[in-house]
Amino acid sequence: MQSIYLDNNATTAVAQEVFEEMAPYLRELYGNPSSVYSLGAQVRSKIEEARVKVAALIGAEADEIVFTSCGTEGNNTAILSALKTNRQKNHIVTTKVEHPAVLNLCKLKESEGYRITYLPVDNDGHLDMNDLKDALDDSVAVVSIMFANNETGILFPIQEIGQLLKERNILFHTDAVQAAGKIPINVRTLSIDMLSISGHKLHAPKGIGVLYVRRGVPYHPLLIGGHQENGRRAGTENTASIIGLGKACELAKNNLNSEIAYISGLRDKLQGAILEKCTDSKLNGAKDYRLPNTLNISFQYIDGEAVLMLLNQHGVCASSGSACSSGSSDASHVLMAMSVPPEVIRGSVRFSFSRYNTEAEVNKVIEVLPGIINYLRDISPFGR
Alpha helices by DSSP H, 89-157: 100-111, 129-135
The three-state DSSP-derived secondary structure of 48-102 is HHHHHHHHHHHCCCHHHEEEECCHHHHHHHHHHHHHHCCCCCCEEEEECCCCHHH
For residues 192 and 162, what is the distance between their CA atoms, to the nearest angstrom?
Answer: 6
Are residues 156 and 185 in contact, defined by beta-carbon separation less than 8 angstroms? Answer: no
Q: How far apart are the first and last CA of the chain?
A: 34
Integer angstrom CA distances of residue 321 from 135, 144, 153, 347, 357: 29, 21, 11, 11, 20
Q: Is 106 a catalytic residue?
A: no
Beta strands in the chain (DSSP E): 4-5, 65-68, 91-95, 115-119, 140-144, 171-175, 194-198, 209-213, 281-283, 294-299, 316-317, 348-352
User: What is the rounded radius of gyration, in angstroms, for the C-alpha atoms of the chain?
Assistant: 21
b or e along 64-101 (b: 16 or more beta carbons within 10 Å of the residue's beta carbon)?
bbbbbbbbbbbbbbbbbbbbeebeebbbbbbbebbbbb
Residue 32 exposed, middle or buried by CB count within 10 Å (0-12, 13-18, 19+): middle
Catalytic site residue from 106, 249, 317, 324: 324
Give me the active site residues, please.
324
